[in-house]
Amino acid sequence: MTDVRLLYFASLRDAAGRSEETWQTTAPDLRALYAEVRAQHGFALPAERLRVAVDGAFARWDDAVRGDSEVAFIPPVSGG
C-alpha cells in the first residue's frame, strides 16, 4: 500500500468536496490511481481529458505511482 497526497482543481474539487486528500493505493500507475479516485468521487471526466502532475511537474499517465508523492489531477479550465 502506498500513500500519496492528491490535489484536485476546478470541477474535480467541486465533485470531491475538497481540494486535497491523502490516499492509500496499490495502483501501479497514475491512470489506475485516477480510476480508483474517479470511482470513489464520481468524477465525470476521463483521464484523457485531464493533465496529471507529480511533485509539481507534468507526468504521463503510465508513470508509476511513487509513495509520498503529491499528485495533481488538472481538468481543462475555461476562462477569459
Ordered by where they begin, the domains of the chain are 2-66 (3.10.20.30)
**Helices in 1-80 by DSSP H: which ranges?**
10-16, 30-41
User: Does residue 15 register a pLDDT over 70?
Assistant: yes
Q: Give the closest residue to 30 by CA, choosing from 65, 54, 58.
A: 65
State the pTM of this model: 0.94
User: Does residue 79 register a pLDDT over 60?
Assistant: no
Q: Is the dihedral of CA 21, 42, 39, 30 positive or negative?
A: negative
Alpha-carbon gap, residue 35 to 51, rounded angstroms = 14
Q: CA-CA distances (angstroms) from residue 29 to 12, 17, 45?
A: 20, 24, 18
**What is the tens place of the pLDDT at every residue in 36-48?**
999 999 999 999 9
Mean pLDDT (the chain) is 95
pLDDT at 77: 75
Q: Which triple of cell numbers denotes residue 13?
A: 474539487
**What is the tens place of the pLDDT at every residue in 59-77?**
999 999 999 999 999 999 7
